[in-house]
């Protein structure tokens, strides 16, 4: 364990000015948001070569911050770091408890958040191995998840919320197929599908699998219908004629 966390923060903040401009906010965010346990986890992952250089924040959500980083080989990596002190662990517990993989989880803040990050990592593994276009999972330790960075030269690709697809019919079909493959091959439901969680590369890449759950979850059908309803809602707003969510539901389930 490093004795001087200021030195660790300095290590995390190192920059290569010729690659990207220095983001002075990174130091402030890490120093003010992350506790010593999280910094120690980052230190371990740096020593393993998962991370080497941290750049700026890509996005800040209710539960986690996502940073752009480089690994030891100079590849861009996304670092998703769940905040221990501000995450809504009670809501996390409610979703974890329905997932048969996590039914025995202890109802303690830190362990719930660690399990939440671990579940997202495992969900990405299952979806990636099933052939779904998702960020490739790289590593996970406690509340820190490392995955493939979806973008170019440190700039993330846009969300479908911010950039409408050029060919709505084709995009609708691709996303519906992704939902179907996630269910049939990965045996998961995304459970938080929306235009906020699709990156256009321009091909669609599904992100944020933190709420994804095993199809053995008792809420399986409800969550699948919610995902399909969001898919239909978005594309109907673009003027596309789509099947009803219940028809898509039957096709996914093979009925």
pLDDT, one tens digit per residue, over 86-116 is 777 888 888 888 898 888 888 888 999 999 9
Question: Is 3.40.1030.10 the CATH number for 157-253?
Answer: no
**Mean pLDDT (the chain, rounded):** 88
Q: Which part of the chain is CATH 3.30.200.20?
A: 10-155
Q: Residue 12 — very low, low, confident or very high, per pLDDT cuts 50/70/90?
A: low
Active site residue 227: no
When pLDDT is averaged across residues 44-48 and rounded to a whole number, the result is 89
The DSSP H or E segment spanning 146 is strand 144-148
> Angle CA(66)–CA(71)–CA(75) in degrees, nearest 5?
90
Q: pTM for the whole thing?
A: 0.88
Active site residue 192: yes
Domain covering 10-155, topology: Phosphorylase Kinase; domain 1 (3.30.200)
Q: Residues 52, 71, 99, 192: which is the catalytic one? A: 192
Q: Residue 47 — very low, low, confident or very high, per pLDDT cuts 50/70/90?
A: confident
List the one residue out of 124, 151, 163 whose CA is nearest residue 140.
124
Q: Residues 52, 208, 214, 227: which is the catalytic one? A: 208
Q: Which part of the chain is CATH 1.10.510.10?
A: 157-253
Q: Which residues contact 74 (CB under 8 A, 6 or more apart)?
A: none
Q: What residue spans of 98-167 are helical by DSSP H?
A: 109-129
Q: What are phi and psi of 80, to 5 degrees?
A: -100, 120
């Amino acid at each position: 364990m490093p004795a001087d966390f200021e030195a660790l923060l300095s290590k995390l903040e190192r920059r290569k000015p010729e690659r990207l401009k220095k983001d002075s906010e990174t130091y402030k965010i890490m120093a003010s948001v992350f506790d010593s346990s999280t910094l120690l986890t980052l230190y371990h992952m740096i020593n393993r070569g998962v991370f080497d250089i941290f750049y700026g924040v890509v996005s800040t959500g209710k539960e986690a911050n996502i940073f752009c980083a480089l690994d030891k080989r100079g590849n861009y990596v996304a670092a998703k770091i769940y905040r221990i002190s501000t995450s809504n662990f009670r809501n996390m517990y409610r979703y974890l408890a329905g997932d048969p993989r996590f039914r025995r989880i202890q109802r303690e803040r830190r362990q719930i958040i660690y399990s939440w990050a671990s579940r997202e990592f495992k969900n990405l593994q299952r979806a990636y191995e099933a052939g779904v276009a998702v960020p490739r999972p790289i590593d996970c330790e406690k509340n820190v998840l490392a995955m493939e960075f979806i973008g170019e030269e440190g700039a993330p690709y846009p969300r479908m919320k911010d950039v409408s697809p050029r060919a709505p019919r084709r995009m609708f079909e691709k996303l519906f197929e992704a939902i179907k493959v996630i269910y049939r091959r990965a045996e998961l439901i995304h459970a938080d599908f929306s235009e906020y969680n699709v990156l256009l590369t321009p091909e669609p890449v599904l992100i944020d699998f933190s709420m994804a759950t095993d199809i053995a979850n008792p809420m399986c059908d409800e969550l699948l219908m919610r995902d399909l309803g969001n898919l239909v809602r978005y594309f109907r707003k673009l003027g596309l004629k789509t099947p009803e969510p219940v028809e898509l539901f039957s096709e996914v389930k093979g009925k």
